[in-house]
Amino acid sequence: MTLLYELIGDQSLVVWVALGLVGFLLTWKGANVVESTTSKISDHFGVSQAIQGGLIVAAATSFPELAIIVISVLVLGEFGVGAGALIGTAVFNILVIPAAVAVTSGDTTTTQGIVYRDAIFYTVAVLALFGVIALGVLGTDGRELARITPQMGVGLLVLYGVYVVLLVGGKSGASDRTRTESTNVPKQLGLFAGGLAVVLVGVESMIGMTLQVADALGAPPFLISVTVLSVLSSFPDLLVGVKMGQAGDKRAAVANVFGTNTFNLVAALPIGVILAGGVSIGFLTSVPLLLFLFYTTLVVVVLSATDFEISTEEGYVFLAMYAVFLGWMTTEALGITALLTESTLRTIVG
């Protein structure tokens, strides 16, 4: 039960959808403030485009997803809502954002640093998460449940630390920018904190809507989270990417995608695991989703490495792949397909 539910009590689905949309607007506004303040502070100190996109802005714009996983664990005691949002966000980010940048701003040039460091490391992060879930099966009596311990979560956080070291210490992480005009850093920090607070309120409302929609449809919250909640929470990231592309920072926009997804999978998700004191997740649920995420990542990486460019045509291919993903999740929710069975979906517990 969310804090908002305790405050307003039982309401109609229409009311919850309206509150969810209000929460989305709050999250959007708060994320914009967070992104703007981090960019201004980074510019003030002459931080490079690569580090801005792959680390600073990526972590800042991932706060909605981090808030979702923290609230789902600490308030709901329901890890599946947060896990679903993070997996859905990863698919959305890797397919929709590069596509949107390429379609709205034209062919998008990548670099060796983005492909051979950010993209490859993100692929390693996906495989590491897959490996952790597979190892989690060893601690259970059967193959359907995987137990992820806090120690495993710490291991994933260490992996993210390695990524930070590579990003900051690599040659491409050297500053390619000079300091801009003076920025009122204390003021920007205050706005940053305010933006985070607004995001928290917005995320609470969106989670409440997700649970009520799942209840009305008789569907597992995980399925609604991996589609509806993930799209709503990722939309600010999409706007940031398009804004960067139109401003001429296409490389930073692409780096932000890989940086955001890496943060979500090996930083935000492990934080939820640690806060929950360990979680159990349906192995048969995670395998199809992670395989889809892995193969879509390979497609994006290969096309990004081809002439180090994402063309407008390739952007449309990415959008088509995401449409396939949404279609798959819809058929699962309607019971037409059963790759993600109801029993395994409901075994995602804290």
Domains of the chain: 3-172+185-345 (1.20.1420.30)
- Beta carbons within 8 Å of 55's beta carbon, 6+ residues apart: 164, 167, 168, 259
Give the integer Cα–Cα distance in Å for 174 and 158.
Answer: 23
Cβ 82 vs Cβ 263: under 8 Å: no
- The tokens describing 90, both together, are 């990863």
Query: Tell me, what's the pLDDT at 143?
Result: 57
Largest CA distance in the chain: 61
Please check whether residue 156 is in contact with residue 270, taking contact to mean a CB–CB distance below 8 angstroms.
yes
The C-alpha atoms of residue 59 and residue 61 are separated, in whole angstroms, by 6
Query: According to the model, what pLDDT value does residue 46 have?
Result: 73
pTM of the model: 0.83
Rounded CA separation 94/90 (Å): 6
Q: Please tell me the predicted confidence (pLDDT) of residue 17.
A: 93
Per-residue pLDDT of the chain (350 residues; tens, 9 = 90+): 678 888 888 889 999 999 999 999 999 888 888 878 887 887 777 776 656 655 676 677 788 888 899 888 888 887 878 888 888 999 999 999 999 999 998 888 887 878 888 888 899 999 998 888 888 877 665 556 778 889 999 999 999 888 888 877 764 444 444 555 567 888 888 998 898 899 899 999 999 999 998 888 887 888 888 889 999 988 878 887 888 888 887 887 887 788 888 988 999 899 988 988 888 777 777 778 888 889 998 999 888 888 888 999 999 999 999 999 999 888 887 777 777 654 544 444 44
Residue 135 is predicted with a pLDDT of 83
